[in-house]
Chains A and B, each alone.
Chain A
Amino acid sequence: MPADGLPGSEARALPAAPAVYCHDLVVRYGPRTAVDHVSLVAGRGEVVCILGPNGAGKTSTVECLEGYRRPASGTLQVLGLNPTTDHRALVARIGVMLQRGGVYPMLGPGHALRLFAAYYERPEDPEALLDRVGLRSVARTPWRHLSGGEQARLSLALALVGRPEVLFLDEPTAGVDPEGRLAVREVIRDARDRGACVLLTTHELTEAERLADRVLVLAQGSVVAEGSPTSLVGEPGAAREVAFGAPPGLDLGELEGVIGAGTTVTEGEPGRYRVTVAIHTATASGGSPQVLGPDVAPGALAATVATWLAGRGVAFSDLRVGRSLEEQYLEVLHTRGEGPEPQAWKPR
């Protein structure tokens, strides 16, 4: 990690500098602290996702890195440059997608892309970009007449047209239809594969799970969890869970009996079931922790549940082993007592 003493104002990237480096960032709006000592590092060829509810400080963090906001304190470097003092050197090398707007309402995608391409030394071919984001058929439609998904794809294309080394995408899939989301994800992976660093924010768990190499969970201005989507999901104990959807009112006791002691089956909301097998560990004197109770392999647990359901002629769906990032995320927020009530969190 670069030391704090690095000459941040020097308008030349240091070879060893990570694409995005943010240490102890604090942002205040009057008396309110929006970002409270957030640190993050993102490398080239990496997609890092900041996940969190509205008001968690996601946009404030990104806008400091984009150079829009001056932090109250903290060390920020993008491509080894200071986002505010080296703004002019930096804008040629970053691509920005704002949470909303940012495009002339009168311009169609073709015109807007050609205009933005003219700002950069070695831009992408606007025509090729139009095809890549799937806006060819609406190339001449003014921005204000585009659908939400088309507007988002245009904003994304405008962020890409300068061949950025770092992409900042603020809620790139908010309000985007499923087809548009596929296009957005593909374009983001593409940028990553070409070596760009992608820093994106979202409040949607599925997006983070699908897109990110690494996820930072932000709540009330602080990082409350960090890791790969799978590491966040698959922490110890997590694999001993199976969740599924089926008609409401199943006989939970019978299923518990089939799996064995230590099993709890709950129906959180009607038709959504979760099977948990408790793993009790105890440390024998001088020895290593030992597993007490049934040690059910996750796959076997899923198979047992599926067999039981099939045997009773019950139709089921979404059978998954372990916990989704959503459940993990809610638990993290909930445990800290900082998040919204779990019921308020439903992916769209």
Chain B
Amino acid sequence: MSALRPYVAQVGAETYMTLRRGETLLVTVGIPVAFLVFFSTSHVVSTGPGPAVSFFVPGILALAVMSTAMVSLGIATGFERGYGVLKRLGATPLGRPRLLGAKVTTVFFVEVVQAAVLVPVGYALGWQPGHGHAGAAVASALAVAVLATVAFGGIGLLLAGVLRAEVNLAAANGLYLVLLLLGGMVVPLAKLPGALADVARALPAAALSDALHAALGSGSPVPAAAWVTLGGWAVGASALAALTFRWE
């Protein structure tokens, strides 16, 4: 009971701060919604057969996971280290497991909020999910989102651990832009030059959007390659983050 109280309080504070940071909401909710509406209605990117929105809903959900788990978590953690907050927390009974647990829980909360906004917008734009079994589709999408959250969270915390807060801010945003373009989120991988597409396929962003396109779009099973890539990044990035993480 009392072991949970610090964790619950920390989740409350982390969620409060995340939802009150204007720049965080912009990158986690504002930009994804704007992209979904813009690309679904403007036809600047051709997405093959079927309504464009059917390509963009899974792609933008992938973007949403990346923006929360990597950009928002990483930047916030970097600044907390810069402000001495992490150092100060190191001298309280909160402890690292409960702090990280609270951060991960908060990321999942925000992702639920993102989905609760993006999915209705998608439906309003005419999205029709794949014809497969709905329960199976949602279950595999959730499993993919959890694995991707660990992978991107690991990348965000790795950057936050090794870079100064301001450099980390720039790096996380830069990486976000690169992975957005190479991630099959707004530009189908098939549109990329062959070699670039091969590189992109090894990155977690494309694996995530591939998996969500399969689960929520065609209703086909998530490709094994996507599971392997996401799993590899999840294990590798979080292990590196744990090794390099600094309180000060």
Interface residues of B in 114-145 (CB under 8 A from A): none
State the CA gap A183–B91 with chains docked (Å). Answer: 24
Contact with A along B75-96 (1 / 0, CB 8 A): 0000010011101101111110
Tell me the total A-B contact number using a CB cutoff of 8 A: 67
State the CA gap A162–B91 with chains docked (Å). Answer: 11
Q: Which of B6-14, B188-196, B225-233 contacts A (4 or more CB under 8 A)?
A: B6-14
Contacts of B10 in A (CB 8 A): 115, 118
Contact A103 B85 (CB under 8 A): yes
CB distance from B158 to the nearest CB of A (A): 22
**A71: interface (CB < 8 Å):** no
State the CA gap A71–B72 with chains docked (Å). Answer: 36
Interface residues of B in 16-51 (CB under 8 A from A): 16-17, 20-21
CB nearest to B5 among chain A residues: A118
Given the interface pairs A66-B91, A118-B5, A121-B2, the reply to whether A106 lies near B20 with Cβ below 8 Å is yes
**A140: interface (CB < 8 Å):** no
CB nearest to B17 among chain A residues: A106
Chain B residues touching A, majority SS:
helix
With beta carbons under 8 angstroms apart, the residue of B17, B83, B92 that contacts A116 is: B92
Given the interface pairs A115-B9, A115-B13, the reply to whether A68 lies near B85 with Cβ below 8 Å is no
State the CA gap A94–B16 with chains docked (Å). Answer: 28
Contact B91 A103 (CB under 8 A): no
Contact A102 B84 (CB under 8 A): yes
With beta carbons under 8 angstroms apart, the residue of A98, A111, A120 that contacts B87 is: A98
**A187: interface (CB < 8 Å):** no
Contacts of B87 in A (CB 8 A): 68, 98, 101-102
CB distance from B2 to the nearest CB of A (A): 6
Chain A residues touching B, majority SS:
loop
Contacts of B85 in A (CB 8 A): 101-104
State the CA gap A90–B95 with chains docked (Å). Answer: 12
Contact A102 B88 (CB under 8 A): yes
Contact A103 B9 (CB under 8 A): no
Given the interface pairs A96-B91, A106-B17, the reply to whether A118 lies near B84 with Cβ below 8 Å is no
With beta carbons under 8 angstroms apart, the residue of B16, B20, B90 that contacts A68 is: B90
With beta carbons under 8 angstroms apart, the residue of B8, B9, B16, B88 that contacts A98 is: B88
Contact B88 A111 (CB under 8 A): no
State the CA gap A121–B5 with chains docked (Å). Answer: 9
**A100: interface (CB < 8 Å):** yes
Contacts of A162 in B (CB 8 A): 92-93
Contact B88 A119 (CB under 8 A): no
CB nearest to A100 among chain B residues: B84
Contact B84 A119 (CB under 8 A): no
Contact A114 B9 (CB under 8 A): yes
**A107: interface (CB < 8 Å):** yes
Interface residues of A in 158-184 (CB under 8 A from B): 158, 162
Residue of B5, B10, B93, B94 with most chain A CB atoms under a 10 A cut-off? B93
CB distance from B87 to the nearest CB of A (A): 7
State the CA gap A196–B85 with chains docked (Å). Answer: 24
Contact A106 B91 (CB under 8 A): no
State the CA gap A162–B158 with chains docked (Å). Answer: 32
Contact with B along A92-135 (1 / 0, CB 8 A): 10101010111111110001001110111100000000000000
State the CA gap A118–B5 with chains docked (Å). Answer: 6
State the CA gap A83–B151 with chains docked (Å). Answer: 34
Contacts of A145 in B (CB 8 A): none
State the CA gap A68–B92 with chains docked (Å). Answer: 12
**A146: interface (CB < 8 Å):** no
CB nearest to A102 among chain B residues: B88
State the CA gap A98–B86 with chains docked (Å). Answer: 12
Contacts of B6 in A (CB 8 A): 118-119
Contacts of A121 in B (CB 8 A): 2
State the CA gap A111–B93 with chains docked (Å). Answer: 18
**A67: interface (CB < 8 Å):** yes
CB nearest to B2 among chain A residues: A121
State the CA gap A66–B87 with chains docked (Å). Answer: 11
Given the interface pairs A114-B9, A115-B10, A118-B9, the reply to whether A101 lies near B91 with Cβ below 8 Å is no
Contacts of A67 in B (CB 8 A): 91
Contact A107 B13 (CB under 8 A): yes
With beta carbons under 8 angstroms apart, the residue of A88, A96, A104 that contacts B83 is: A104
**A91: interface (CB < 8 Å):** yes
State the CA gap A107–B95 with chains docked (Å). Answer: 20
State the CA gap A116–B2 with chains docked (Å). Answer: 14
Contacts of B2 in A (CB 8 A): 121
With beta carbons under 8 angstroms apart, the residue of B17, B84, B88, B90 that contacts A107 is: B17
Residues of B within 8 A of A (CB): 2, 5-6, 8-10, 12-13, 16-17, 20-21, 80, 83-85, 87-88, 90-95, 248
Q: What are 11 A-B pairs with beta-carbon distances under 8 A?
A: A68-B87, A88-B93, A92-B93, A96-B91, A102-B83, A104-B80, A115-B9, A119-B93, A120-B92, A162-B92, A162-B93
Residues of A within 8 A of B (CB): 66-68, 88, 91-92, 94, 96, 98, 100-107, 111, 114-116, 118-121, 158, 162
Given A104-B85, A111-B16, 12 more pairs with CB closer than 8 A: A88-B93, A91-B91, A92-B93, A94-B91, A103-B83, A104-B83, A111-B13, A115-B9, A115-B10, A116-B92, A119-B9, A119-B92
Q: 5 tightest A-B contacts by CB?
A: A101-B84, A102-B88, A118-B9, A96-B91, A102-B84
